[in-house]
Structure 1
Amino acid sequence: MVTAPSTESDADTGSRASASPWLAPIARAIPALIVGLVITFTPDHSASMGLVSLGIFGAVSAVVLVLTTLRLGAGEPLRSLHRGLSVIAAVAAAAAFALVAGLEGNLLPFLLLTLGAYGVFAGAYEVVWGLRHRGISPLARDGITVGAGTVILALILVAVGDSVSAVGFFGAYAVIVGVYLVIAGFSAKWADTPKEHPAS
């Protein structure tokens, strides 16, 4: 009679720990911040460097997205977002690494094409997810913002004619998105924290 409530409480605690949606955007921010900072402090802004950076960003992001999906609760809306983004990131990473390994010469058109395609597909997917989950997930608005920023990256690349600008914009995008995701994660955590009201 005494141990049953404790077991149920432990199960509830474990369930809450496994379903921590506020941690998901923070984990997702890590590869973005790392790649963005590396690009910022690296003088090499060649097209091959951009493709390698995109490949690392996509591969690590895909792993992080899959791991966070497994940690989220079954009914958490972020699961569908992270599943979709993990596939897009993995495809972008595979394409970037394949282009660097298999091609020589001017890689700028391939960098713009691969990075632009990632921006369009990942950005549009996240915007649609955010619009569909308004009022359902506290992170829906952040999804719309990040998705719109990713699409804007793709649009900027249309007007870019050199690798220095392309890689620089990608690095700036990664840093901005990384910082925004960290803020979004902690904002969601603080919003979920019950406020204690003093006894009157």
Structure 2
Amino acid sequence: MTSAHAEPLPASTAWYVPLARAIPAVALAIAITFSADHSARLGLVTLASFTLVAGTVILTSSLLSPHRGIVRTLSIAQGAVTLATAIAAFVATSGGQAYFVFLLTAFAAITGFIELYLGLRSRGRDASSRDWVFVGSLTALLALIVLLVPPAFSQPYTGPDGVDRELTASIVVVGLLGAYWAILGVYLVIAALSLKWSNKDYVAATAAVQQKED
């Protein structure tokens, strides 16, 4: 995501980290899209699955990162919160709509603002900053939109097949989560490829500078 005339920037995030987060996001977005069940239980199971993979990837890559400082510290915190969400969702998949909304909004608000803060403070210094800003903003926005859905929302409607159905808060929130994962997954695939190319450009530019100095 670096312009053609801009100086390549180092990236504190390996390109495979966003790719590893994208895979479960895309898979779960597809699963929700083709599932007739949009219950809170499905929401908790899919949330647990995503956060388990994403949290493991973020936490492991942060702990193994050679970089030190606030970026590594906050990334470790983000990974820990994400894994804690996975545990909380797995142990209470029958927790109901209120529990699902609480867990989802808490996860999205905390990790979203962490990632947004990392992106804003790293602008112009880290090739990952633009991706952090986008993903952080998208995740924080998810928390806000989910909170705006009335818990008792219920809207009867007639489907295309003429069958009477009911649109509930659970269906809306799970649908929003699926849409979030679809957008997130596509963006992170692009981000991973961009980081891979950016890292190659940075290594090449650094090598050229060293050759000139020698």
What is the aligned counterpart of 1:167 among 168, 174, 182? 174
Structure with more of its chain in strand, by fraction? 2
In 2, the alpha carbon distance for the partners of 1:133 and 1:59 equals 26
TM-score between both structures, scaled by the size of structure 1: 0.77
TM-score between both structures, scaled by the size of structure 2: 0.73
The root-mean-square deviation of aligned C-alpha atoms, in Å, is: 2.3
Identity %: 37
Query: What is the CA deviation profile of residues 30-88 of structure 1, one whole-angstrom value per residue up to 9, with x for unaligned ones?
Result: 22222222212211100111011111111121122233335543359864454222111
Runs of 4+ residues over 6 Å off in structure 1: none
Q: Which residue of 1 aligns with 2:136?
A: 147
Q: Which residue of 1 aligns with 2:192?
A: 185
1:36 and 1:174 in contact (8 A); partners too: yes
Residues 37-186 of structure 1: pairs in structure 2 closer than 5 A = 37-70=30-63, 72-75=65-68, 79-100=72-93, 103=95, 107-161=96-150, 162-186=169-193
SS, match of residue 112 in structure 1: helix
Code of the aligned partner of 2:126? S
Structure with more of its chain in helix, by fraction? 1
**Unaligned regions of 5+ residues in structure 2, if any?**
1-11, 151-168, 206-214
Distance 1:77-1:182 versus aligned 2 partners, 3 A rule: farther
Code of the aligned partner of 1:66? L
Q: CA deviation at 1:148?
A: 0.5
Count of residue pairs brought into register by the alignment = 174
Distance 1:67-1:80 versus aligned 2 partners, 3 A rule: same
Distance 1:71-1:31 versus aligned 2 partners, 3 A rule: farther
In 1, the alpha carbon distance for the partners of 2:33 and 2:115 equals 26
**Unaligned regions of 5+ residues in structure 1, if any?**
1-18
